[in-house]
Amino acid sequence: MKKKLFKILPFLFLSLSLASCGGGGAEEAEIKLPEPPKDIKYAAVKEVEGPLADYIEIVEGDYAFNIEKSNPDYGVGYDGTLKIKVKFLSTIDVKQGTGYNSFGPTLNGEIIDASGAKLEFNLDISTDADFARYLKRGSGEEWLTLNLSGQGSIDSEEDAVKMLEKFKKGKKIRFISEIVEEKFDDEEEESSASTEESSSEDSGDCGEFLSEYEDFMDNYIDILDKYKEDPTDMSILSEYSSITQEAQEWTSKISDCASDPLFAAKFAKIQMKIASAASN
C-alpha cells in the first residue's frame, strides 16, 4: 500500500544494507533484539475525537497489539499492528487519494498508561481508501488495521528493552480523527509564505535545517542511484559509511522541529521524493 512507503521515513538510507551486499563493508555492532511480548492488549475508548466524531465510534473491547521484529533489510527495530473494529454511524463523503500530498480520512490511536499519561508512540491509519469508502456508506461495522509509528529508533539492545517496556505500559487506546485536505503547488506556496511570516525564530531555524536536510538527502539519493547501477562497486561502501555517520547528527533536530507546521509540510515533500527514489 502507498502508506507503507512513508514508513521508510525519515532515514530511509539507514535501512539500505549495503554492507551485506558485495561481500563486505563498514563494521557495525550487531544489535540482538529481544523477542517481543505476545500478550499486549489495549482497551479501546469508544468515543472518537475530531471531525469524524459524529460519524464513527470504536466497538469497545480489548484489542491485541501484535509486535514483530522488523525486516532486517529495513533496519533494526519492531513493527506493530492492531486491528480495531469501527462502527459507522452516518454517511460522510470524504475525498481520498495521493497527488501533491496524501489526503483523506485518518485515525490516530494514542496509547495511555495506567496514570492517564500519553506514551510516546502511536497506532494509526493514514488516508486509507477503504476507510473513506466505509465512511461514505455510513453504516455497519468494519475492521481497520492500525500501524505502529513514532516509536523512536533503536541503537542498542538497551534501547530495544526500553521500547518493549514502553509498549507494555499501555493500558488504553483513544482515537483522534482528522481529514487531511488535498493540496496543490500554489496552495502549498501560499501556505508556506503565510506561515513563514508568522513563524517564530524556531520556525526559521527549522526552515534552514530543512534546506540543509534536503541537500543531504539529495546526496543520499545520488549514492542510491550509484548502487543501483553497480551493486558490486566497493567505493560506494565508503560513501555509505560516511553518510550513515552524518545521519546521526540530524536526529535531534528532526525531533525539535516535529511540531512546527511549516516543517511538517515541507518535510512531507522531501519524504515523497525519497520514497519515490527508493521504489524506482
pLDDT per residue over 122-180, tens digit each? 999 877 789 999 999 999 999 999 999 888 888 899 999 999 999 999 999 999 999 99
Coil vs helix vs strand at 120: strand
Predicted model pTM:
0.57
Pairing of strands 172-180, 97-98: unpaired
Grid coordinates standing for 176? 483522534
CB 56 within 8 A of CB 89: yes
CB 263 within 8 A of CB 257: yes
Determine the residue type at 263: F
Looking at residue 22, its pLDDT comes to 43
Looking at the DSSP bridge assignments, the partners of residue 148 are 123
194-250 residue pLDDT tens: 555 554 444 566 777 777 777 777 787 777 777 777 777 777 777 776 776 676 666
Grid coordinates standing for 118? 500519553
